[in-house]
Amino acid sequence: MARFIVVGLAAIGLLGVAPIVYRHAMGVETCPMLGPVPACYVVLLGYMLTGASVFVGVRFRTTVFVAGWIPVFSLALMASGLEVLGNEVCPRGTSNIPTCFYSLALTISLISAFFVERFYRPKWT
């Protein structure tokens, strides 16, 4: 069950960042740059990896999940902190709320669901 939650949360992340990536690819500067790479591209790839992690073998599941989750969580945490301090670095979502706030909440939910999926084994007695 938790596997479906991980995939669902990753899909929500993908659906949230896809329009930002599209607008950026069309020439509208919607996301900050990380050197030569737009941050939204990194986030898109991260959500893809977290979602794909439930489809790879058990041996590599944690590696694939962590490879996607760490960059997304790090960017969301750093950008949310900057937003709280008054620096507008994130694209705005509905109600003018920075999308990095949504991403931070989503990554926390993702890691929670992943831990349940990986380490919780129900005891049927």
Identify the pLDDT of residue 77: 97
Domain membership of residue 124 (yes or no) is no
Predicted local confidence at residue 121, as pLDDT: 66
Looking at residue 80, its pLDDT comes to 96
Show Cβ contacts of residue 102 under 8 Å, excluding neighbours closer than 6 positions.
16, 93
For residue 86, is it left (φ>0), alpha (ψ between -120 and 50) or beta? left
* Total structural domains within the chain: 1
Mean pLDDT in runs of 10 for the chain (125 residues)?
90 94 89 92 97 90 96 97 93 89 96 87 62
Per-residue confidence (pLDDT) for residue 68, from 0 to 100 = 97
Per-residue pLDDT at 29? 80
Residue 80 lies in a domain: yes
Q: What is the pTM of this model?
A: 0.90
Among 90, 122, 106, which residue's Cα sits nearest to residue 50? 106
Residue 71, in any domain of the structure: yes
Domain encompassing residue 22? 2-119
Residue count of the chain: 125
Q: Classify residue 125: in a domain, yes or no.
A: no
